[in-house]
Amino acid sequence: MADTQVSQVPRRQNLAPLLMPLAVGGLIAVGLGVYGRVHLPTGYAIGPAGFSGPLAMKAWLTTGAFVLAVVQLLSALVMWGRIRLEAPWIGTLHRWSGRAAFLLTVPVAFHCLYALGAQFDAPRVMIHSLLGCFFYGVFTAKMLALPRRGLPGWTLPVLGGLTFTALTGLWLTSSLWFFTTIGITL
């Protein structure tokens, strides 16, 4: 009697193409953290045009980035077939909402690093500082992984999920804190 079963040998995934994006992302995260710690904070970075102050500016821009990150999550779920929706424009929505979300974070990060620096004296602020560094590191890794071929199928969902999680944590430790402590002001 011949054995008709084909043996199932697990296929090895080549992680080498992922090393460079992860290494560069790690360097970005560490570099931002080191800069934030060694840079003497100025207390002032950019004028909060249209806002009552820098904290309000940061809270609202981060809220905008967070809302766009939710759009990113939902559009990614559609693109990966987890939400059934016939939407040929979903890839364009995903790319542009990601670009806009990132752009909204830039003045916030600039103000945080230049004016305040990385701070570790209070738990909320320490978590926020670490998440900010992690966000830019994992975002960099995701962007560098996008054009690479031969990556394991889980790479982009994991990096995208980590980016979303980091931005959610940033929103919780900054904008939500601002709105519940200071109030909803422009």
Say if residues 124 and 177 touch (Cβ distance below 8 Å): yes
| DSSP-assigned letter for residue 80 | T
Confidence band, pLDDT 50/70/90 cuts, at residue 9: low
Give me the residue spans of the domains in the chain. Answer: 18-181
Do residues 166 and 137 make contact, with C-beta atoms less than 8 angstroms apart?
A: no
How does pLDDT run across 119-131, given as a tens digit for each residue? 888 899 899 999 9
pLDDT tens track for 117-169: 888 888 998 999 999 999 999 999 999 999 888 888 899 999 999 999 999 99
- Determine the Cα–Cα distance for residues 163 and 115; give it in Å rounded to an integer: 24
pLDDT tens digits along 14-38 = 788 899 999 999 999 999 999 988 9
83-105 confidence digits (pLDDT tens): 998 889 999 999 999 999 999 99
